[in-house]
């Protein structure tokens, strides 16, 4: 598995470029900004982007999606529970002082237990409402990796004070779905350093019973 993690934009969202080493088919998760840098990584590994997956419709995760679609022709996927948030990108842009990316067109929704494929790579979609209603994590069982969006961070969890956020729901999502994964699973959060499920189970203050 080719996996490049690139912090993009003013909020340094972790964008993942994930490619199959044999077929060179790839998916890009959360291309929030800095599309030229993402395209440089795609060119470096000679990848063909087949899917653009958005973990949730906050501007720092979705802001560059249309530019990446224009450059690669790949469809943009997002859980339908975040379509309403996607219509508020102008407002979100004003909150964080970014330029509005304009309208983002979603090819289709991804829901719990769907799979997203690129070459031989298979990601399972885990719907984890809480940070937003339509937040999803992507789990690569064969590689033992979880792309967690803003649901889980090293030592913390996603904020729930923005529109569509729910503290009760994020705690349920984490206990019922995320902590059900094996301890050795490597977690790539939406921002900040990598961690593991075991480390967070043990020491994340939000996950202690
Ligand atoms: Zn977010």
How does pLDDT run along the chain (209 residues), one tens digit per residue? 999 999 999 999 999 999 999 999 999 999 999 999 999 999 999 999 999 999 999 999 999 999 999 999 999 999 999 999 999 999 999 988 888 999 999 999 999 999 999 999 999 999 999 999 999 999 999 999 999 999 999 999 999 999 889 999 999 999 999 999 999 999 999 999 999 999 999 999 999 97
Q: What is the distance between the alpha carbons of residues 91 and 94, in angstroms, rounded to a whole number?
A: 5
Cα(96) to ligand 1 centroid in Å equals 12
Distance, CA 56 to ligand 1 centroid (Å)? 7
Ligand 1 centroid vs 23 CA: distance in angstroms? 32
- Positive or negative torsion for Cα 83, 85, 87, 92: negative
For 11-50, the pLDDT digits (tens) are 999 999 999 999 999 999 999 999 999 999 999 999 999 9
Question: How far is the centre of ligand 1, averaged over its atoms, from the C-alpha of 141 (Å)?
Answer: 24
| Run of H or E including 95 | helix 89-96
- Residue 163 is predicted with a pLDDT of 87
CA distances to 20, 28, 102, 175 from 117, rounded to whole Å, are 10, 11, 28, 26
Report the pLDDT value the prediction gives residue 96, as an integer from 0 to 100.
85
- Express each pLDDT in 154-173 by its tens digit: 999 999 999 889 999 999 99
Distance 150 CA to ligand 1 centre (A): 5
């Amino acid at each position: 598995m080719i996996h490049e993690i690139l912090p993009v934009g003013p909020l340094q969202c972790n964008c993942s470029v994930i490619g199959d080493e044999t077929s060179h088919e790839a998916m890009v998760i959360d291309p929030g900004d800095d599309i030229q840098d993402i395209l440089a990584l795609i060119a470096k590994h000679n990848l063909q982007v087949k899917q653009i997956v958005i973990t949730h419709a906050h501007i720092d995760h979705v802001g560059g999606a249309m530019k990446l679609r224009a450059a690669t022709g790949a469809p943009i996927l997002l859980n339908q529970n975040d379509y309403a948030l996607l219509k508020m990108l102008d407002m979100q842009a004003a909150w964080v002082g970014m330029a509005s990316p304009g309208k983002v067109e979603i090819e289709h929704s991804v829901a719990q237990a769907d799979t997203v494929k690129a070459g031989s790579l298979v990601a399972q979609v885990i719907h984890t409402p809480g940070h937003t209603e339509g937040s999803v994590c992507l789990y690569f069982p064969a590689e033992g990796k979880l792309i967690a969006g803003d649901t889980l961070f090293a030592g913390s969890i996603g904020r729930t004070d923005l529109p569509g956020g729910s503290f009760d729901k994020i705690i349920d999502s984490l206990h019922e779905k995320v902590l059900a994964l094996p301890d050795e699973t490597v977690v790539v959060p939406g921002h900040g350093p990598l961690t593991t499920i075991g480390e967070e189970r043990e020491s994340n203050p939000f996950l202690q019973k």
